[in-house]
């Protein structure tokens, strides 16, 4: 049953548990996700992201809806939702700001950034500012250690941050100024990002830069020194294929995408240390 606001009353589930009112579109899209997998219950993780995109958190009625659609218990859904830290049981602000305080980021300044932001925003860990704009959380390594210290906004990278740049970042977010990831697209809201994680693309995936010099430095050094992974004869195959076709194996035809990117970006690592930072910065 749908009311004038597009809200559907699902009534009692097969377990006699009331889901409450969920947007009809949410239920439609939850069902759609279940059809993407050979085993329907494999859909649970993206389904929970979709619940968060509509509800702002994993709600009890969202848990009941997932359980009902997958034919599993609410306790099983709840067990997953409380295991993974990306699922939130309390409302998240418009922007989730995660400060990496894992080892490398911590020693490079992540701890100082986190302390500065707690003071500046007047919130503790996993708390949201009074205006509902920013939720601050310290997060574990995001595999971006070559750009430490890293701050994530809705899981987009903000590389090589300082307490000062991170403060400007959250101010820009709260004031509604456009913010772009240092290695990704413009920052959308947390709910919009959750929808993408549920498998509904926003077509921003190719916006902004991807790999940067710090990540590609190892590849460049390997190429300069002729290093190759043991047992990897990919280059040999490329060379043989190129010889057969009369094409120089060193043209971009035979190169991996990352190598092409390195060349196309004109990455100049001269004067940089292994972390990709200029010596005088």
Instruction: Give the integer Cα–Cα distance in Å for 66 and 76.
Output: 10
CA angle 7, 25, 178 (to 5 degrees): 105
Q: Where does this chain touch ligand FES (CB under 6 A) — which range of 24-32, 74-82, 99-107, 170-178?
A: 99-107
Q: Which of 113, 144, 173, 214 binds ligand FES (CB under 6 A)?
A: 144
Q: Please name every residue paired with 13 in a beta bridge, in sequence order, or none if there are none.
A: none
Least gap, CB of 119 to ligand FES (angstroms): 21
Alpha helices in 35-154 (DSSP H): 44-55, 60-70, 74-81, 103-105, 111-121
Q: Which of 105, 158, 173, 196 binds ligand FES (CB under 6 A)?
A: 105
- Please work out the total of residues on this chain that contact ligand FES, with binding judged by CB under 6 A: 11
Q: Please name every residue paired with 278 in a beta bridge, in sequence order, or none if there are none.
A: 272
Least gap, CB of 160 to ligand FES (angstroms): 11
Nearer to ligand FES, 33 or 150 (CB): 150
Instruction: Give the integer Cα–Cα distance in Å for 99 and 123.
Output: 13
Q: Which of 80, 150, 158, 214 binds ligand FES (CB under 6 A)?
A: 150
148 binds ligand FES (CB under 6 A): yes
CA-nearest of 265, 279, 158 to 220 is 265
> 155 CB contacts (<8 Å, ≥6 apart)?
96, 98, 193, 197
Q: What is the DSSP string of 128-177?
A: E-TTS-EEEEEE---S-GGG-S-EEETTEEE-S--HHHHHHHHHHHHHT-
Q: Which of 58, 69, 100, 136 binds ligand FES (CB under 6 A)?
A: 100
Q: Which of 13, 102, 220, 239 binds ligand FES (CB under 6 A)?
A: 102
Q: Which tokens in the block code for residue 175?
A: 């004031």
Say whether the peptide bond before residue 169 is cis (omega within 30 degrees of 0): no
142 binds ligand FES (CB under 6 A): yes
Nearer to ligand FES, 102 or 239 (CB): 102
Least gap, CB of 148 to ligand FES (angstroms): 5
104 binds ligand FES (CB under 6 A): yes
Q: Where does this chain touch ligand FES (CB under 6 A) — which range of 90-98, 102-110, 219-227, 249-257?
A: 102-110
Residue that the structure tokens 């597009």 belong to:
6
Q: Which of 145, 179, 197, 242 binds ligand FES (CB under 6 A)?
A: 145
158 binds ligand FES (CB under 6 A): no
Nearer to ligand FES, 144 or 188 (CB): 144
State the residues that interact with ligand FES by CB under 6 A: 100, 102-105, 141-142, 144-145, 148, 150
């Amino acid at each position: 049953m749908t009311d004038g606001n597009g809200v559907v009353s699902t009534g009692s589930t097969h377990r006699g548990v009331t889901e409450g009112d969920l947007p009809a579109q949410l239920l439609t899209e939850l069902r759609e996700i279940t059809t993407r997998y050979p085993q329907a219950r494999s859909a649970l993780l993206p389904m929970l992201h979709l619940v968060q995109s509509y509800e702002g958190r994993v709600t009890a009625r969202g848990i009941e809806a997932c359980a009902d659609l997958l034919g599993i218990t609410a306790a099983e859904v709840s067990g997953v939702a409380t295991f993974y830290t990306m699922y939130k049981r309390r409302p998240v602000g418009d922007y989730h700001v995660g400060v990496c305080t894992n080892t490398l980021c911590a020693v490079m300044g992540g701890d100082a950034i986190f302390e500065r932001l707690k003071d500046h925003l007047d919130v503790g860990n996993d708390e949201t500012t009074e205006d509902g704009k920013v939720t601050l959380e310290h997060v574990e390594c995001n595999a971006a250690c070559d750009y430490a210290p890293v701050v994530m906004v809705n899981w987009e990278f903000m590389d090589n941050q300082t307490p000062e740049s991170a403060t400007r970042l959250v101010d820009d977010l709260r004031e509604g100024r456009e913010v772009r990831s240092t290695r990704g697209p413009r920052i959308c809201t947390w709910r919009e990002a959750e929808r993408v994680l549920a498998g509904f693309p926003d077509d921003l995936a190719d916006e902004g830069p991807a790999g940067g010099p710090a990540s590609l430095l190892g590849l460049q050094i390997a190429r300069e020194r002729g290093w190759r992974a043991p047992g990897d004869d990919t280059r040999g195959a490329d060379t043989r294929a190129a010889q057969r076709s009369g094409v120089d194996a060193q043209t971009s035809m035979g190169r991996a995408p990352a190598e092409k990117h390195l060349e196309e970006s004109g990455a100049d690592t001269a004067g940089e240390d292994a972390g990709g930072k200029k010596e005088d910065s």
